[in-house]
Amino acid sequence: MTTFERSSKPRSTGTPRWRLPLFAAAVLIVMGGSAYAGNTIDGCYNKGSGALRVIDATATQCKSSETPISWNEVGLQGSVGPTGPQGPQGAAGAAGTSDAYVAKSRGASGALDGHVDIVALNVPAGDYVISAKTRLLNGHTDGQPVECLLSTGDLSTGNVIAAGDLTIPLQDTVSFAAASTVTLRCFGVYGALYAADWVLTAIRVGVLH
């Protein structure tokens, strides 16, 4: 009579070893897919067979026979790559939009009787930075208040001593929708006032900020 004996070696209840490489491969495949959200991998563990499957938790849920699991691991930051080659030289840029218009004189004007335009400058449409300067000569025996102004709005005042002179500077910005004329005019309270060495400059710029 043949006798059979029960083996005392415990039966393995873990995940079969043949499943591990398959599962590892599945993880590697989904790392670049939708199942890998940020640094987290989601999956389902079958409580009966021990099978594991990776899922996209935003679109798939585990079955009632499965247990949901998730895990993550952030790898070490890689080293900085080598500097890339220098790119080709770009094309030359378009010509700038800056132009300067200037009117000046070293001579002296006639007597400024009232508000008199000393110099006028014609410019095309555009945005401008305006600057002007003139020397005022007082031919009166008394000192007198004086003022100079640009047609664009800037005003400067001063006081010239008797038989003395004073340099008046002005600066302004303006936008012209059409061709226009910029003027510089000055005025002395007592008359006998003369202008000399004046200069009026209008620089057209791309944009006024």
What's the rounded Cα separation, in Å, for the pair 16 and 23? 11
Structure confidence by residue, pLDDT tens digits, 20-72: 444 444 444 444 444 455 678 888 989 888 888 888 888 888 988 999 988 77
For the record, the structure tokens of 111 come out as 């007597």
User: Over 70: is that where the pLDDT of 19 sits?
Assistant: no
Residue 186's Cβ-count burial label (10 Å; 0-12, 13-18, 19+) is buried
- What's the confidence (pLDDT) of residue 112? 86
Q: How far is CA 127 from the centre of its chain?
A: 21
Identify the structural domains of the chain with CATH numbers, from first to last.
19-72 (no CATH), 99-205 (2.60.120.760)
- Residue-wise pLDDT for 124-168, tens only, equals 999 999 999 999 999 999 999 999 999 999 999 999 999 999 999
Does this model's pTM top 0.85? My answer is no
